[in-house]
Amino acid sequence: MNDLQKVLVVDNGERDEVDPLAAELAELGFSSVTTSFEAADDVLQVLPQPSAIFLKMPQKSGDASSREILALADRLRIAQGPAGAPVFVWDRARMLQSGGVSALLRGEFSAEALATA
């Protein structure tokens, strides 16, 4: 893998042709690795410590995979602890929210860290 900071993106397999999350991460200088919900634990075992973890909510709200994503987010937050990668749950409403990914990451990383990402 390259020297860019890595961000893990976990989804339920629903992917658009153009992924706005991956595009915005790339614009910020992050390399994103996207995996399915089922493979997330395996990918975390082989991926060097990610800078952040994004869990994408399914487009259909209220289904079983939404609950599974939220449970995984809780489990990952505990596993990462306070010094580990921040875990974000990403949904359509957040995509439309002012500031997008950069606003979320600014809350977790210094401006210098984002500038060198």
pLDDT tens track for 40-97: 999 999 988 898 999 988 876 666 688 888 999 999 999 999 888 899 888 767 666 6
Is there a domain that residue 86 lies in? yes
> How many structural domains does the chain have?
1
Is there a domain that residue 30 lies in? yes
Give the pLDDT confidence score for residue 96 in this predicted structure.
65
Of 61, 52, 10, 12, the C-alpha closest to 30 is: 52
- Find out whether 43 and 105 touch, Cβ atoms under 8 Å: no
Is there a domain that residue 61 lies in? yes
Is there a domain that residue 31 lies in? yes
The overall average pLDDT reported for the chain is 79
Domain at 71, CATH number: 3.40.50
Residue 111 domain boundaries: 6-115
> By three-state DSSP, how is residue 5 classified?
coil
H or E stretch at 60: none
| pLDDT over threshold 60, residue 1 | no
Q: What percent of the chain has pLDDT over 90?
A: 25
Is there a domain that residue 81 lies in? yes
Is there a domain that residue 1 lies in? no
